[in-house]
Amino acid sequence: MHAFTLIEMVLAIGVAARVLIAVNTALFASLRLRDATANAVDAATPLDQAVTFIRRDLQCVVTPTNGTSKVLSGSFRAGNVSSPGVPEPVAIEMFTATGALSANAQWAEIQRVTYELKQPTDRNAVGRDLVRSVVRNLLTMTTPDVQDQLMLSGVQDIKFTCFDGAQWQETWDTTGVTSTYTNLPLAVRVDIQMARNNSVNAQPIEMVVPIDAKTRTNAVLTATQ
């Protein structure tokens, strides 16, 4: 009966050790890749949710009503404007049909929505917080009850520009205070600059949302013969 020699045993142990090292390296590499992927997904989730909310609000924006009476159909304003009940200047103010209907809520689906940047509660945090402020009771005669929703942290700047059919406008106000526009823009471009990216040439996150809404009038169309 042939037995293993000492040299054969050492060689077998050496081969087994190399195999175990290779398996261990591949295992830890896969674990690091999994953690990196999970961190990337977790970091992108708030941004994706914020972009989804902004796009939905713009797609469901309500056409402003001409005149001074704008109950349940208020103005559309963009570009560092003041909104009642919101202490900070807002980047955009719109009335949009994105309110959730329920049997226990007395509000309709139309609500006033603003987006603004606020200082974070954590002083060591980088950038500012993107906040979505919502007013459901549009018929109140007092200061409206504003509900703040944190959309995204670490934002350096957010900008809404409106397309009038010929060029992009940095401000839009259907009330006629800061601009002469009385209807909605044809599209809205949203630029979100994150504060965590320290590159000088870093490009902002950009999306363009077409606005498919027209002002209705009391004019009656007549057919010519």
Q: Report helix, strand or coil for 35.
A: helix
Confidence category of residue 64, pLDDT binned at 50, 70, 90: confident
Lowest mean pLDDT among 60-69, 174-183, 205-214: 60-69
Q: Do 186 and 172 form a contact (C-beta atoms < 8 A)?
A: no
- Say how far residue 196 (Cα) sits from the centre of its chain: 17
Q: Do 168 and 161 form a contact (C-beta atoms < 8 A)?
A: yes
Lowest mean pLDDT among 12-16, 46-50, 145-149, 158-162: 12-16
φ and ψ at residue 4, rounded to 5 degrees: -75, 140
pLDDT at 44: 57
CA gap 180, 171 in Å, rounded: 10
Mean pLDDT score of the chain, rounded to an integer? Answer: 82
Confidence category of residue 95, pLDDT binned at 50, 70, 90: very high
Q: Report helix, strand or coil for 53.
A: helix
For 110-155, the pLDDT digits (tens) are 999 999 999 998 888 889 999 999 998 888 778 788 999 999 999 9
Q: Do 81 and 107 form a contact (C-beta atoms < 8 A)?
A: no
For 169-194, the pLDDT digits (tens) are 999 998 877 667 888 999 999 999 99
Q: Do 53 and 132 form a contact (C-beta atoms < 8 A)?
A: yes
State the burial class of residue 130 (Cβ atoms within 10 Å of its Cβ: 0-12, 13-18, 19+): buried
Q: Closest Cα partner for 127 from 149, 151, 90, 152? A: 152
